[in-house]
Amino acid sequence: MKNIYFLLVAFMVTSLSFGQTTLKFQDFESGADDWTYTESPTTYSVGSDVWAIVATLGGTVTAPQNGANFWGMRDLANANGGTATGVASTLAFPNVDIAGQVGVEVSFQYITDAFDGTDSLQVEVFFDDASQGVTDLGKNTDAWTGYSLSVPDAINNVRLTIIAIQNGGSDYAGVDNFKVQSGVAASCGFSYGANTATCQTFTGGVDTSDTYDITIAYSGGSAGLVVTATAGTIAGDDPATTPSGTIQINGVTEGTDVDVTVADGGLCNEMTTINSPNNCVAPLSFPIEETFPQTVGSTLASDSYWDVTNTSGDSVLLTSGNLSIMGLRPSLGNSASFDGAGNDPFITFPVATGTIYSSFIFKITDISSATNASGGYFAVLGSFDARVWVKEDAAQFVIGVSNGSSGVVYTTTKYDINTDIFIVFNYDTATGVINFWVNPDSATFSATEPAVTATVTDASVSANISQFLFRQDSTSETGFIVVDELRISDNWADVTPTAPLSIADNTIAGFSIYPNPATNNITITTRLNQVKAVEIFTILGKKVMSTRVKNTLNVSQLSTGVYIVKVTENKVTATKKLIIK
């Protein structure tokens, strides 16, 4: 009996001493950190723009999770070594050999603050170089938060990448204490893969009238697993009966993040957070036409299709009145104005390749304060790929084009204050060639492009184009500017439309509005079924609504009465009477 007791005690001591083994770690301290990493872009810390090892940062991100340092991130979309708007910065940790190890877990700590709808912090883990999907980490945790993932025992290598996007002026995040450990616990075996959140209705803005659906790939399903979600309706494959498949969460209200948990009441308790889309709008398609139909005095960034790179400083505002160019189709809607320093609104569209064109009308009402000898750029196509500049010249100004922040080619012609000017420029994603026209001959409108005003070439060719941006740089670089009739497409004719031949031609095929009379929502249908600019007027001519939709429009805020609905789609405008009851 004594021998049996001795063996039992020996077994218990052996088991307790086995414990956890750290295979690799990185906590951004000098010395023994041995899980190396590659940062992209290269580390920088310039003013408030930070992508570097730090001891403190700002907001609620003021101290490391442990030790003296952590990896800090602030305002990553910048010109001080950062990325273009919407482009990710990454920390890539290489493969760790875990062959023969059991109970392996990869883990780290993170913290986020002041993240809005366009900001994100994500992690992508790879088992034997196979991605396990990109997982959204929590927004605005305001405290250090742990992430961990169990690795199946049959895996030989594990690695991970941190993916960060920050588009605001005061966004903060940190990561710290990365570890790969063995002997942590028996493996649950279940793991999440890639996920998507897709808008199902489109009214624009962050509101509760839109819904979205979620899909989450998974592997390692087994008997006893149960899926729960904090919002929406669960559908798709059942991990309890289907080893690998896709979980679906349907009908989630926009603005609501969802925690999805797969658990068996024992070893398995795996949760992932899916962040809501923040602006459910119908996808744009070429030709894109911004006639600035929004309410006069509102900010351009408040429109569903526009966002800003930061939230500080003056905004681009909607202004009454229009600019015009002889031979160009008459302007619709309103115009927009800006000056000096401020936020930079941008509009995104599906990634496009080939030659992408943009045009707009602008005028400068005052350039006396823009004294910078190099001038300043105020319009950008792509991720700062093609830029339009102005420079004061003896109370007049010249107009230029460039690819970067230097190397501007300016016109020799000088232009007067308060003169409407038509700009067309393009970017070729195959060659990096940027062509630029100032007041092209109206005989070429809707026809064949004429000889260029200037040409520059991007030495680092961008593979695609997906945004346009208005830039408010500084008082010494940006004068008082009014812009109108912004157009983006993949051909010259679309961005230089001429006036319709007659009113009879100015109809929209298949145009209808129902129900009519209406109370809450109306549906606008057309044969093309594209995004439409919609304006609603009282019978006395007062504009009471201005927006853009693809089909459904909420009119519940309108009082009982008769209205005129003006719809513009693909360069054509039509009207119908609407009765609100």
Average pLDDT rounded to a whole number, residues 362-378? 95
**Same CATH fold, 188-280 and 19-185?**
no
Closest among 355, 527, 571 to 458, alpha carbons compared: 355
Q: Is the pLDDT of residue 8 over 60?
A: no
Average pLDDT rounded to a whole number, residues 325-349? 90
Tell me which DSSP letter residue 10 carries: H
CA separation for the pair 195, 214 (Å, rounded) = 7
Percent of the chain with pLDDT over 90: 51
Residue 490's pLDDT band (cuts 50, 70, 90): very high
Range in 24-38, 145-159, 355-369, 495-509 with the lowest mean pLDDT: 495-509
Q: Is the pLDDT of residue 452 over 90?
A: yes
Q: Which numeric CATH code is attached to 19-185? A: 2.60.120.200
Q: Which numeric CATH code is attached to 503-580? A: 2.60.40.3080
Domain 188-280 sits in CATH 2.60.40: yes
State the pLDDT at residue 18: 42
Tell me which DSSP letter residue 231 carries: S
Domain boundaries, the chain: 19-185, 188-280, 288-495, 503-580
pTM of the predicted model over 0.75: no
State the pLDDT at residue 135: 86
State the pLDDT at residue 361: 97
CA dihedral 11, 12, 14, 18 (to 10 degrees): 140
Residue 208's pLDDT band (cuts 50, 70, 90): low
Residue 420's pLDDT band (cuts 50, 70, 90): very high
Decide: 162 and 90 in contact? Cβ < 8 Å. Answer: yes
Class of the CATH-defined domain 288-495:
mainly beta
State the pLDDT at residue 32: 79
Cβ neighbours of residue 176 closer than 8 Å, sequence gap 6 or more: 27, 28, 64, 65, 66, 67, 70, 71, 108, 109, 110, 144
State the pLDDT at residue 16: 35
* CA dihedral sign of residues 492, 496, 502, 508: positive
Q: Could you read off the pLDDT of 210-231 as tens digits, one per residue? A: 889 999 998 888 889 999 999 9
